Each structure stands twice: as structure tokens, then as C-alpha cells.
Structure 1
Amino acid sequence: MSSPTDTPTMLRYPVLIGDIGGTNARFALLVDARSEPRDFPTVKTAAFPTIDDAIEATLADAPVRPRSTVLAVAGPVDGDEIPLTNCDWVVRPLRMLDRLGLEEVIVLNDFEAQALAVVALGPEHLEQIGGGAPDPDASRVVLGPGTGLGVAGLVHARGIWIPVPGEGGHVDMGPRTSRDFAVFPHIERIEGRISGEQMLCGRGLVNLYRAVARADAVEPVLGQPAEISAAGLAGTDPQAAEALDIFVTCLGRLAGDLALIFMSRGGVYLTGGIAQKIVPALKKGSFRAAFEDKAPHSAVLRQIPVYAITHPLAALAGLAAYAMTPDRFGVAIEDRHWLRDGAAAP
């Protein structure tokens, strides 16, 4: 028998932490509060029918079994069955307690973990893209194009950092320039609308490339995001180069919008594999110009720094920081914390 609880507690060690995306799942084990996380090989979500199967396979050679787990999942956390947005896995914490022999499960949004990482990572894992110095106690925004498009805020209040999860990747996107008006009609829509995630993720880059090709009346020859970004960076395919430029421009527009919403003088942080791979394109100028083009507040935007996070496992770093120092963060776990009845206090 197990039940949800809203009572924050020190986690029971060992703790399994996991960053569960649409394509990849990454896990690490914290043996105690003083040890560095032990990382496990990345798991392809398509390789396992359920997350429980993936965790069992991951833990097969682990030195100890976890008592607790903190998972960050790509999708809204609501109820005892939590479907991921971009893969077929459904997280069922009550079943997980029994099957995996756990005493507690906490499930967060994946970009909540990315927001936690912003204050867990050092400057060696950040590549600045314009702007001035950050205000160390000001709000921050995390934005990540990957399998989908994740967004979260981070607010500093009463001496702690409070992550603000959401589904900001699904906001509407629209054309501004004459070229936009030529390309946007060819972008694939969902139920009649173009969302951020239809443009600013892996499949979004493919959508943009195909839309540019259609606008130019040429046959697209590239089919994978990595091919398009590589050709765009190298300048070997004109449609790929323009698609990448539209991608970074629209990413800059959305990043600037979010910076205004949160007044994120602490910085805007771009995370995920795509951002890491296209840093040269982000630094060319169109990203920053679009980010700052926010009259009447362009002067404010010019001062806000943007960073590309270069740490390969940023979300796990954020989860580890939370697991080891939960009092540093104001993570609301009401209805997202499942505790086995009769579990001993940590």
C-alpha cells in the first residue's frame, strides 16, 4: 500500500535520479549526500516498453539498490499516471514503488530539473551569447530545443530558488518579415496552428528546411536534423543554411519574449543537444538581434545575458543538487511525491 504526500523530506539514500526525455533517458545513482553521482549509460526510450523495464535494466549492475527516486519527465505531471509528451512511456509511481522496491518517488517536469541546473552548474559549463553581467539573485529562464521544446522559469525568493515549470514550448509562433510570410505557409501545422515546438526542436528544424525548400520550389534532399544543422553551419546547402538562420532567429524572438515575461535579469539559458551543436550559428548575430528587438524595451534586453549550457547532463546535475540540498530549492511536491506506507524516516 502506498500513497501520495505533500510533506517535503530529506530523501532516503541511495537515490536514483533520472532525466526522461522523448528520445533518451539518463540515469545516475547518488549513494549518499557526499558522493558524486554515478552515471549510467544513456537509454533509448524506444528500446524498452516501459520506464520500469528501462530502470530494471539500468540497475542490473548497480552496486546498491535505490530507496528513493527523483525523476524529471518530459510532460506535465498530473495524477498517478503521467504520460510523456513525445514517447509512449507512462510513469506510474504507485506501481514503481512496488515493482522496484522503492520507498518514495518524486516526479518533476524535465525543465524544472533544467532550471535547477542553472544554479548548480559553474561558469565552465556556460557559453555566453551577448548581453552584460547577470544579476545573481534575479529571475532566470531556461529554454531547450530538443525532441520537443521545453521552457521553465527560476525565481529567487526568501533565500531559495523556486523553479516554475510550464508548457511554454507550445505557444504560438508567427511571421514578421516578408520572407517569413513566404515560408510560414509551408510549415506543417497541428490543428491549424504553428507552435514553438513545430519549429524549435529537432523535427521543427526539419519542418523549417522543408518549408524553405517548398518556398524555393526545390526538392528537399536532407531528412535528419543533424544533417540539416551540419549543412547549415557549413553553408553547403542554401535551404539548410536559411532554415538554420530562421531557427536561431525565431529562437531569439521566443527567448526575448520569455525574458520579458520573467524579467530575467539573471539570464536566459539555452539547454539541450541542439543548442550545444549550433553555438556558432547562435553567435552570428541574428539570434541576438531577434532577442533584443523588443521595443519599447530593447534597452532592457540588451543587458540580459544569454548562455548556452554545454554540460552534457545538465538536468541530472540539477536533480543531484536538489537531492543533496533540498532546502536550497523551493520545489513544490504536493501531488508529485509518492511514499510507501510504513516507510522509515530518512
Structure 2
Amino acid sequence: MSGRQGLAADIGGTNTRLALVENGRVLEETIARYRNRDFGTPEEAIDAYLAGAGHPACRSAVIAIAAPINGKAIRMTNHPWTFDATCIGKVLGGADVTFLNDFEALAYSLDRVAPERLKSVYGSAQAVSIGATRLVVGAGTGFNAAALFQNSGGLHVGTGECGHATLAVETETELQLWKYLARNRGRASIERALSGRGLREIYEWHCLEKGLAPDTLSPAEIAALANSGADQTCEAAARQWVTFLGRVIGDLALVFLSLGGIVLTGGVTRSLARFLSEPEFLNAFCAKGRQQQLVSGIPVHLLDDDFAALSGCAARM
């Protein structure tokens, strides 16, 4: 897209982030964020952004969506929006529209992230192989992951719907929690725990186990109380949440053999960053039996950049 202007959009279950792109780079001064609930359709949100930006001419658009990408019509998993490339192209004045999974865009952004936006969670004394597979994992409204592979043909991304795999538990107590998360659902998926709603339900379960009525706290409020140490039940929920996170990313590290490192992202993950250095997270991450030494050699970082996926979209223009 050299010399031409385009639109990058990262559309999650709660927020839509947009920016203009020129010469393959996001124009940072054009970045904007909208709440999905304020618009009936993605076309309305994009049209509002374009109006605010002075109706720029966009010849192409790359839109990252929190949903499986299959064909030209996409339905979101955690929001009622649907996407049609032709309809969005018309809003953009006939632009070519490409859809990506939101974690595919995040994976493509990894080589564009400023080093200071990556905070070390867990380091390793072992040297990381250049060109080794990297993994980006995030928990927010939902949960997912993507692997970034590098070979002589360049960079390639492997995506999935990791949040909808079944949540693994290891203790009798966790089994009882799993049953609570699975109620009226048939099973408990990873996303049932590792999301904002999951943190809320883990907190509810801990309250009920203590014979307490859960307060009407949002996930952000639970995280804040856990971080401050002001509420023991919130803190217990946070520690269980990061235990599940450590276990899941350790499993994904084995699945993808992500020896190049793991990057964590997502609003809930960032809100519980304090607990990522605690034993609950690190022990669960490394506890992989005969492959414990392998997983223990994988560095983990936290991405402190809520707009990184826009750079990944720009990379695909």
C-alpha cells in the first residue's frame, strides 16, 4: 500500500480501535477507540470514525475481528455484530477489505512493538533461538492465542479458537469450581475462566464457598480490590485466575513449541499484572512433567499496548 492511505481496525468484544495507515505504518495521531455498545453495526462505528477524521480516501482496509475468519461474512463470538466485506467497502468508498482474526493481527504486530512496551514477567537463563516460534496470548472480553512462525518464506501466523477448548483442572477444589463454571453449559471452556466474566464467576464461587453473598463487583473492581489487598476473596479469585492462566499458556507453549517466547496481552491480564510474578502463576506455567525444563526456558512478557493489533493490520496491507 506504499504511498496510499488505508484503514486499520481492531474490533474486540467490547471496544473498536481504528487508525489511518500510510506507507504501511499506523498514523498514531489518528488512533481512536469506540465502545461497541454505542453503535448498532460496525459500519456505523467506521462511518463515525471517518466523519471525525474528515472523510479520508481509503483504498484498502484491514479489519481484525474477535471471531473465526471464514469467508467474506463474519459473525462475532462475544458481540452481536456481523461483518460483510462488501458493505464495509461501500462505507469506505469502494475500498478493498481484508478480515483478520484479532490475534492474527497481534501476532503480526510483535516485530513492530516498541521494546519499552514489553514488560518482563518471567525470564530464562537459556538463550532464545533467533527465528523460534513466538506466541501471543490474551484474556479480555474473551480468550485466544496465536503463534508467529518464521522461516525462509517470511512470517506466518497460526490462529485458532483456543478459548473454546475445555478448561483443565488438577485438584478436587478446582473440579468443584469447574462444575460451577460449567453450570447450565455442559462444560467449562478456557474462556469461561480466563475472561472478565470468568474472573467475576471465580469470585462468585469463592464467596459462595465461604457462605457469603457476592457483591455486585465488576471484573475491574475485583482486580482493583485484589491488587490493593483490601478484599481476601477478590485476592483468592485473582490467584486462582492466574493459576489457570499459567497452566493454559504452559500447555499452549507445548502445543506450539513457542521457544521464542510468550507475549501476554488483554485487559484482564494487564489488570492482574501484579499476580503474574507470584508463585501461583509461575508454578502452574512450568509444571509440565518431563517437559518442565523445556517450558521453564521460555521467557514471558506482558504487552502494555492496547493498540498493538493496529500495527499488525498495517503489516498486512
Q: Equivalents in 2 of 1:15, 1:274: separation in Å?
A: 30
Q: How does 1:25-36 map to 2 (within 5 A)?
A: 25-33=16-24, 36=27
The verdict on how the C-alpha distance between 1:198 and 1:91 changes in structure 2, with shifts beyond 3 A counting, is same
Matched with 1:321 is 315
Q: What is the 5 A alignment of 1:39-118?
A: 39-63=30-54, 64-118=56-110
Q: Is the 8 A contact 2:288 2:295 kept in 1?
A: yes
Corresponding letter in the other structure for 2:171: T
Q: Is the 8 A contact 1:80 1:93 kept in 2?
A: yes
**Cα pair 2:107 2:157 within 8 Å, conserved:** yes
Instruction: After superposition, give the CA deviation of every residue in 1:211-252 in whole Å (9 maximum; x if it has no partner).
Output: 111222211114200011111112222221111001000000
Instruction: Give, as a single letter, the amino acid of the residue that structure 2 aligns with 1:215.
Output: E
Change (3 A) 1:208 1:28: same
8 A Cα contact 2:24 2:315, kept in partner: no
Q: Secondary structure of 1:175's partner?
A: coil
Query: TM-score when scaled to structure 2?
Result: 0.94
Q: Which has the higher helix share?
A: 2
Q: How does 1:4-43 map to 2 (within 5 A)?
A: 10=1, 13-33=4-24, 36-43=27-34
- Residues in 2 aligned to 1:127 and 1:312: alpha-carbon distance in whole angstroms: 14
1:245 corresponds, among 223, 239, 243, to 239
- Following superposition, the deviation at residue 120 of structure 1 comes to 1.6
TM-superposed deviation, 1:190: 6.0
Check conservation: 2:19, 2:27, Cα contact below 8 A.
no
Are 1:173 and 2:167 an aligned pair? yes
Taking the TM superposition and a 5 Å limit, the aligned residue runs for 1:1-346 are 10=1, 13-33=4-24, 36-63=27-54, 64-132=56-124, 133-189=127-183, 191-323=185-317
Q: Which moved more, 1:106-115 or 1:37-46?
A: 37-46
Q: In structure 2, what residue type is equivalent to 1:128?
A: S
Measure, in 1, the Cα distance between the counterparts of 2:260 and 2:66. Answer: 25
Superposition deviation, residue 37 in structure 1: 4.1
**CA-based RMSD:** 1.8
Among the aligned pairs, what percent are the same residue?
36
Residues 97-140 of structure 1 deviation map (CA, whole Å, 9 limit, x = unaligned) = 22331330100000101111222213211111113253231011
Q: Write the deviation string for residues 152-202 of structure 1: whole angstroms up to 9, x where unpaired.
A: 111112141101111011111132123323433322446311001000010
Matched residue of 1:142: which SS? strand
- Code of the residue aligned with 1:43 in structure 2: it is Y
Q: Provide, for residues 279-328 of structure 1, a one-character-per-residue CA deviation record: whole Å limited to 9, x for no partner.
A: 111112211110000001000111101111011211112222333xxxxx
TM (normalized to structure 1)? 0.86
Q: Distance between the aligned counterparts of 2:65 and 2:26, measured in 1?
A: 24
The one-character-per-residue Cα deviations of 1:37-89 (angstroms, maximum 9, x if unpaired) are 44332111111111111111001132422111000000011123211111111
8 Å contact 1:129–1:288 — kept in the other structure?
no
Tell me which moved more, 254-263 or 159-168: 159-168
The 1:189/1:117 distance shift into structure 2, 3 A limit, reads farther
Structure showing greater relative contact order (alpha-carbon pairs closer than 8 Å, 6 or more residues apart): 1
- The DSSP-based 3-state class of the residue aligned with 1:297 is helix
Distance of aligned partners of 1:295 and 1:55 in 2 relative to their CA distance in 1, 3 Å threshold: same
**Aligned AA (2:109):** A
Q: How many equivalent residue pairs?
A: 314
Structure 1 residue runs of 5 or longer lacking an equivalent are 1-9, 324-346
Aligned to 1:85, what secondary structure does the other structure show? coil
